[in-house]
Amino acid sequence: MNLTDLPDLSVKRAEALKQSGIESPEDLLMLFPHRYIDRTRIQSIQTLPGNGETATVVGEIKQISEAGFGRKKRLEVTLEDETGQLKGVWFRGSNYFRKLFNKGDRVSFFGTVKRYGRSLSMAHPEVEQLNTKKDEKSLQRIVPVYPGSSQFSKTYITHKLIHSWVNRVLDKTRPAEFLPDDLLKRHSLPERGKALQMIHNPQTMQEPSTALDRFKYEELFLFELSMARVKQVHFERKNGPKLESAGNLTRTFFQDHLPFTLTEGQKSALSDIKTDLLSGMQMHRLIQGDVGAGKTVVAIGALLMAVDNGYQAAFMAPTEILAEQHYHTLTKFLEGLDVEIRLLTGGQNSKLRTDILTSVEGGQCQIVVGTHAIIQEKVNFQKLGLAVIDEQHRFGVKQRADILGKGDSPHLLVMSATPIPRSLALTVYSDLDISVIRGLPDGRKPVKTAVRSDKKREEVYAFLEQNVGEGGQVYVVYPLVEESEVMDLKDATMGFEKLKQRFPDFAIGLIHGRLKSEEKEAVMQQFYDGELQILVSTTVIEVGVDVANANVMIIEHAERFGLSQLHQLRGRIGRGRRQSYCILMPGEKLSKSGRFRLNKMVETSDGFEIAEADLKLRGPGDFLGTKQSGLPEFRFADIVEDRLILEQAKQDAWELMRSDPDLQSDKHKNLKTVFAPYFKEKAAYFGLG
């Protein structure tokens, strides 16, 4: 059938449906109620307390009258049952509603009951005429309430009308099932047609929840099936550069150059990477670990393995300051190993840029470190064998595909210092193998965190003064660069001036995102070299800046930062041997969620626990940024609340893709019909064409 076959569907109503995304009978069936009204019990008028509860009452119309004048004119209809009376009141459309009632009619009222003195009333109740006992029995049902829109109200598309249309479609069509029978039985899920009946015409208040689980599973299963297929396509189409061995550079670095012992987590991650690189298949691996877990050293191991085997490697970071930090780290660690490393960013002058591009294209540059500039059209590699992406969550999936296009199926290693909750790892990074580095390198002491109000500021400053006097360095972080008239926050520039007055004998610097690249680098270099004792900053120092001697951080208006952001900031200290302290200083007005975030920071330094809490607070879209992360906007499922369903869907999808990758089995015929267009859309999204 077509939508045009629906009764009472005017041109304006059809247009209203279209504007709400409903263009087919299937679309209409997928317009799920957003709540349900339980009308399974008819109540007697005498039992109603009249304190704003909703109720269904049945009786006979005893009186119809109008009261008031002009705009205040209202219709009052008195309904009586065996126990008492109740008035239905209509303040608008009294002339229209007056025609619906006759004295002596048996009707039902459903609405919110309020008591005024000794009288009970319902404003604009829903009314149904009752001609037979069968009609009265039909009242006792669960009523779906559909999400509305301005277009619906303008064209008088009511809940009743939508429900009647949905039932017309359900009567005339048989929704096709495409999930395999074995999966439905395994998870006790209703088949599609039955589930839709349970959604739109539930017999109990539990049925919609049971049916909704089926649709949550369905969309998560399709997504995970597409992710499994994406990974399969990578391996079907692409054999990665096969590396023969670790090589002299790699061995020399780890045996002679590395000034510390690797943790077990680092060794495990390096073993995973080595296995991938020696396999001959393109590596797609995510290294995740907490701030300070030592991911960069693991990345260096992978870079050297590529260089050892005659390949070039690219190391991409989201910001210039982080790219510069990685460049300096690599230059320092690899000093004396005869490896040419170049830094490529958007802010370089044309002469330097041309020189770098020539070196990359000619193969003299073995490792290029940079920002998005690496994936620009003019950048050509002679033989790219490995791409490393740091802070992966700040790049979109397209950038991941773009850097892979710079070589002949190069290996891909992505890293994240933002611990990724398991639910996100099951979705956004389903196409990647994951290595987790847990624990911190030897000698690192956990950062002690405390919350201090503005009343304790002098005590905090006394502690700061003592710490600097003992040779330590301090970060003071602000949420804004300059004073805002909209938000009453202490800003970095004003804070910088006040701190200079408060500590005239200390060398204090200021860094923020509006400074030019060379200015930021100069200030950071001064702080790194110990020429500055206090660095006032915005969140520009959130990632990448590593000053081992900095052991105190004061975060002003800490409640304005997200949990993960606070954790990232705290990760800038605690890099050296001395005990480190993070002091959170909130503003005067602290919300419930703000207090929760600060307390969580005090309670734990485990980045994974913090990430889970942050995900629950903000939701997956805000946690990573939906558009940037590749995370779809699921219609029914919540990957945090529905993680068990997500894990089931992932396991089932990946098992099916292994056993029947092309969905050739007869029992998968319907699934293939649905999955083909779904995957085509996802494949284009992931840059697979």
User: Going from the N-terminus, what domains does the chain have, and what CATH number goes with each?
Assistant: 41-139 (2.40.50.140), 174-237+642-689 (no CATH), 247-437 (3.40.50.300), 448-604 (3.40.50.300)
Q: How far is CA 382 from the centre of its chain?
A: 37
Contacting residues for 185 by C-beta, under 8 A, at least 6 apart: none
CA distance 253 to 335: 10
C-beta neighbour count of 393 within 10 angstroms = 23
Residue 119 CA to its chain's centroid (Å): 51
**From CA 561, how far away is CA 41, in angstroms rounded?**
49
What's the rounded Cα separation, in Å, for the pair 634 and 94? Answer: 43
Q: What was the pLDDT predicted at 626?
A: 44
- Note whether 610 and 419 are within 8 A (CB): yes
From the list 606, 641, 517, the residue with the least C-alpha distance to 290 is 606
- In this structure, which amino acid lies at residue 339? V
Classified as helix, coil or strand, 194 is helix
Assess contact for 545 and 524: CB atoms under 8 A: yes
**Type and span of the H or E element at 128:** strand 126-129
| 226 within 8 A of 685, measured Cβ to Cβ | no
pTM, rounded to two decimals: 0.66
Q: Say what the pLDDT of residue 127 is.
A: 85
Sign of the four-CA dihedral 285, 290, 292, 293 = negative
pLDDT at residue 622 in the model: 60
Checking DSSP bridges between strand 119-123 and strand 106-116, what pairing results, if any?
antiparallel
Please give the span between the terminal C-alpha atoms of the chain, in angstroms, as a whole number: 34
Which parts of the chain sit beneath pLDDT 50?
Answer: 626-629, 689
**Strand 534-537 versus strand 384-389 pairing type:** unpaired
The C-alpha atoms of residue 243 and residue 240 are separated, in whole angstroms, by 9
pLDDT at position 629 is: 47
Q: What angle do CA 684, 414, 221 make, to 5 degrees?
A: 45
Question: What is the spatial distance between Cα 530 and Cα 547, in angstroms, rounded to a whole number?
Answer: 9
Read off φ and ψ for residue 78, nearest 5 degrees: -90, 125
The DSSP element (H or E) to which 506 belongs, if any, is none
DSSP 8-class letter at 77: E
Q: Check if the beta carbon of residue 647 is closer than 8 Å to that of residue 152.
A: no
Place of tokens 């919110």: 112
